[in-house]
């Protein structure tokens, strides 16, 4: 499944305003680890957190957007509930660690 790609600050803000729970994945297509992790994170969201929406920001093409949200390493994952950031993971993290962090808030929220 191809994720929706965010390319502007306006789009980013609209997504946060119009969705209850969002995971935004900052990565690049040139990094094998980032690409592999993206697929796994997307699958996890679909299976474990069906009410959450997945979006992607390509750091190479949206440098200003990445800088605005301090996503200087790849991958960087930001998780929002009701427009507020609750989880931030960058570079070195495990899928299970991410899943646990999201699950705590997801269970409360839903």
pTM over 0.85: yes
pLDDT band at 1, cuts 50/70/90?
low
pLDDT tens digits, 23-43? 999 998 777 667 778 999 999
* Per-residue pLDDT at 73 exceeds 90: no
Q: Is 53 exposed, middle or buried (0-12, 13-18, 19+ CB in 10 A)?
A: middle
Q: Which domains does the chain have, with CATH numbers?
A: 4-109 (3.40.30.10)
pLDDT tens digits, 47-61? 999 999 999 999 988
* Per-residue pLDDT at 78 exceeds 90: yes
Q: Which residues of 12-50 are buried (b: 16+ CB within 10 A; e: fewer)?
A: beebbeebebbbbbbbbeeeeebeebbeebbebbeeebe
């Amino acid at each position: 499944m191809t994720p929706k790609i965010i390319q502007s600050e306006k789009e980013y803000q609209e997504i946060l305003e119009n969705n209850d729970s969002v995971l935004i994945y900052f990565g690049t297509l040139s990094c094998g680890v980032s690409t592999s992790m993206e697929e796994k994170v997307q699958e996890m969201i679909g299976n474990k957190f069906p009410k959450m929406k997945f979006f992607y920001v390509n750091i190479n093409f949206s440098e200003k957007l990445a800088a605005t949200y301090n996503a200087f390493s790849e991958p960087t994952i930001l998780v929002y509930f009701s427009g507020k950031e609750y989880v931030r993971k960058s570079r070195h993290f495990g899928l299970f660690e991410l899943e646990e962090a999201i699950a705590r808030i997801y269970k409360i929220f839903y």
